[in-house]
């Protein structure tokens, strides 16, 4: 453009006037809890819009997604899948439950808002939240609570049992879980009839093992749809760290290809590209070594654990192991011919109560109970959880565009 004297000048952003549009932030009552090895923002369902189609922009705003930098600094996410979560709790719509719980997984760099799966770690905080928020009232003199939870994502029932103090969920205790510093009150989670959480059956392909990309893979649905492949079949060590999995030149792409094809075989989508990011989850399993230096240091030798597992969640190596993956592992260990059973069959288990899993942050014991007819009756795991804060959470218009 030219000035009044006919001299050509450059157009700069400082010379282009743009009227700023200001608006104040929105807010809602909320709480923030650690559940197992994850964290999530909690809402009462009554505080969110009645129409769920209006939830997505709110949830993205409070978590801080999408963030091209991958850090979610403008929200309460933490830049990894185990911290990019929301839980919504409300009155039960199921006759066998006290409360409803909806789990939401959010993409970090993208706009994905995924309602397709449950989260076993965060469900450990659902009972305590229900008590603390008075959705499940207890008497001040009560020493414990048992909350029956209906997970709306899968339609499954989970029983959560934990101590209470003066009408609130206890936080202090002597129980510890690997991946979380310190000790806390123990929470017992019983997943009732967890098979077929999404597909309606324990073995959705009808096979104990399928061949996908020339790799034996077990597709199983217990608590969440999962795929288990042996590390040795992919020519990698079973005790890789999350960073080593990420830096491997081919492994993540290979695992995602298997996962997506498994999702089609399990009936989750008609095409690999349409398979949700959160399910099926995929996990590497392997035989623990006797004397490998890393396994000795982590107490994950064959004397400490029954098998090694390295799980992925929403495309990222998990820092520990998703509880739903651990539950599916325990179930798969009892399915003859599965990739998991092949590792543990014929061995004396470390603990008669179930399978001891060596994961990226330590060890985990999880049990699966089958009826006489072979039906998966329940699966049990122990976790800890804690309320971190409660109050009002804020998000702004246009921050996620």
Helices of type H across 37-92: 55-63
What string of pLDDT tens digits covers the 401 residues of the chain? 545 444 554 454 444 445 667 889 999 999 999 999 999 999 999 999 999 999 999 999 999 999 999 999 999 999 999 999 999 999 999 999 999 999 999 999 999 999 999 999 999 999 999 999 999 999 888 999 999 999 999 999 999 999 999 999 999 999 999 999 999 999 999 999 999 999 999 999 999 999 999 999 999 999 999 999 999 999 999 999 999 999 999 999 999 999 999 999 999 999 999 999 999 999 999 999 998 898 999 899 999 999 999 999 888 999 999 999 999 999 999 999 999 999 999 899 999 889 999 999 999 999 888 888 878 999 999 999 999 999 999 999 764 33
Residue 19's pLDDT is what?
65
Rg of the chain (C-alpha set): 23
Q: How many angstroms separate the CA atoms of 320 and 80, rounded?
A: 12
**Residue 14 pLDDT:** 46
The answer to pTM > 0.85 is: no
Quote the pLDDT of residue 271.
98
Work out the burial of residue 376: count CB atoms within 10 Å of its CB; fewer than 13 is exposed, 13-18 middle, 19 or more buried.
buried
Concatenating the DSSP letter of every residue in 293-317 gives: HHHHHTT-STTT-SEEEEEEETTEE
Rounded distance, CA 378 to CA 370, Å? Answer: 7
What CA–CA distance (Å, rounded) separates 301 from 144?
37
| Residue 312 C-alpha from the chain's centroid | 10
Burial of 368 from C-beta contacts in 10 A (0-12 / 13-18 / 19+): buried
- Contacts of residue 7, defined as CB under 8 A and 6 or more positions apart, other chains included, come to none
What residues have CB less than 8 Å from 262, skipping those under 6 apart?
210, 212, 217, 219, 227, 280, 282
| Per-residue pLDDT, 13 | 46
**What does the pLDDT read at residue 398?**
61
Q: How many CB atoms lie within 10 A of CB 126?
A: 31
Res 18: pLDDT: 57
How far apart, in whole angstroms, are the C-alpha atoms of residue 10 and residue 3?
10
Neighbours of 140 (CB within 10 A): 9
């Amino acid at each position: 453009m030219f000035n009044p004297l006919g001299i050509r000048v450059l157009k700069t952003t400082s010379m282009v006037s743009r009227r700023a549009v200001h608006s104040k932030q929105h807010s809602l009552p909320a709480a923030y809890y650690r559940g197992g090895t994850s964290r999530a923002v909690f809402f009462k369902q009554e505080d969110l819009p009645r129409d769920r189609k209006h939830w997505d922009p709110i949830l993205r705003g409070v978590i801080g997604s999408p963030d091209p930098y991958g850090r979610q600094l403008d929200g309460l996410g933490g830049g990894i899948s185990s911290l990019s979560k929301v839980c919504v709790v409300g009155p039960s719509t199921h006759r066998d439950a006290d409360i409803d719980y909806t789990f939401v997984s959010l993409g970090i760099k993208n706009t994905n808002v995924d309602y397709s799966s449950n989260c076993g770690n965060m469900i450990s905080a659902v009972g305590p939240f229900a008590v603390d928020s008075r959705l499940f009232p207890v008497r001040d003199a009560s020493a414990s609570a048992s909350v029956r939870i209906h997970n709306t994502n899968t339609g499954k029932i989970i029983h959560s049992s934990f101590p209470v103090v003066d009408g609130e969920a206890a936080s202090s205790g002597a129980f510890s879980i690997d991946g979380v510093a310190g000790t806390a009150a123990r929470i017992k989670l019983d997943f009732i009839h967890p098979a077929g959480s999404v597909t309606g059956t324990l073995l959705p392909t009808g096979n104990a093992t399928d061949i996908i990309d020339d790799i034996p893979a077990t597709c199983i649905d217990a608590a969440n749809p999962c795929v288990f492949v042996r590390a040795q079949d992919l020519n990698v060590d079973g005790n890789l760290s999350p960073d080593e999995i990420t830096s491997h030149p081919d492994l993540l792409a290979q695992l995602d290809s298997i996962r997506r094809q498994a999702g089609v075989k399990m009936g989750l989508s008609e095409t690999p590209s349409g398979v949700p990011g959160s399910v099926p989850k995929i996990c590497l399993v392997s035989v623990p070594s006797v004397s490998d230096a890393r396994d000795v240091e982590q107490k994950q030798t064959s004397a400490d654990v029954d098998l090694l597992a390295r799980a992925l969640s929403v495309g990222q190596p998990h820092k520990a192991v998703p509880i739903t993956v651990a539950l599916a592992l325990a179930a798969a260990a009892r399915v003859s011919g599965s990739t998991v059973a092949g590792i543990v069959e014929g061995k004396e288990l470390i603990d008669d109560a179930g399978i001891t899993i060596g994961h990226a942050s330590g060890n985990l014991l999880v049990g699966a109970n089958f009826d006489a007819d072979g039906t998966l009756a329940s699966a049990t795991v122990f976790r800890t959880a804690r309320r971190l804060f409660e109050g009002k959470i804020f998000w702004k218009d246009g921050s996620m565009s």
